[in-house]
Amino acid sequence: MNKSNLQLMADHIKTIPQEVFDMQDYRKNNLLSIECGSIGCDIGHCIQLDPDSKNVPINKHFETIDFFKWSENFTELDGNSDEWNWCFDSRWKSTDNTPLGASKRIEYLINNGLPENLRNQMFGYMKLCYL
């Protein structure tokens, strides 16, 4: 886990207005630009934080940024891990689809690790521990 890069993401996400944030999609359009410029999730908005745009992988088949791979490289979280899901899973859309919530989840992971009941929180069965 790259805590420094995760904190950069958490800080940046706090500045994103709600009307251009949505955990469901990496981005609605603008899929080859470093700058988001559209509605997007925390990953879609944070690619611009990478200090070297050459680090941003392109999916040549779809001619888009490979957002998933970028997130794994930048955060050093396995995209199949509970840590990645806690921070970036699209299923948060129905429970907490806010930039502040996304930022707080990342900071919670950095400072406390994963909560034991992360899935119950993600699906709205238990109170969110980061509020």
Q: How far is CA 48 from CA 13, 32, 56, 90, 118, in A?
A: 12, 12, 9, 20, 28
Q: Answer yes or no: is pLDDT of 30 > 80.
A: no
Q: Does residue 126 have a pLDDT over 80?
A: yes
- The per-residue pLDDT of the chain, averaged, comes to 93
pLDDT for position 47: 93
What distance in Å separates the CA atoms of residue 64 and residue 53, rounded to the nearest whole number?
14
39 has pLDDT over 90: no
Q: Which residue has the tokens 């995760």?
A: 6
pLDDT tens track for 65-111: 999 999 999 999 999 999 999 999 999 999 999 999 999 999 999 99
Residue whose entry in the numeric block shows the structure tokens 């469901």: 24
Question: Which of the four pLDDT bands, split at 50, 70 and 90, describes residue 21?
Answer: very high
The predicted pLDDT at position 64 comes to 86
Q: Letter for the amino acid at 81?
A: S
Q: What's the confidence (pLDDT) of residue 12?
A: 97
CA distance linking residue 31 with residue 83, whole number of Å: 25
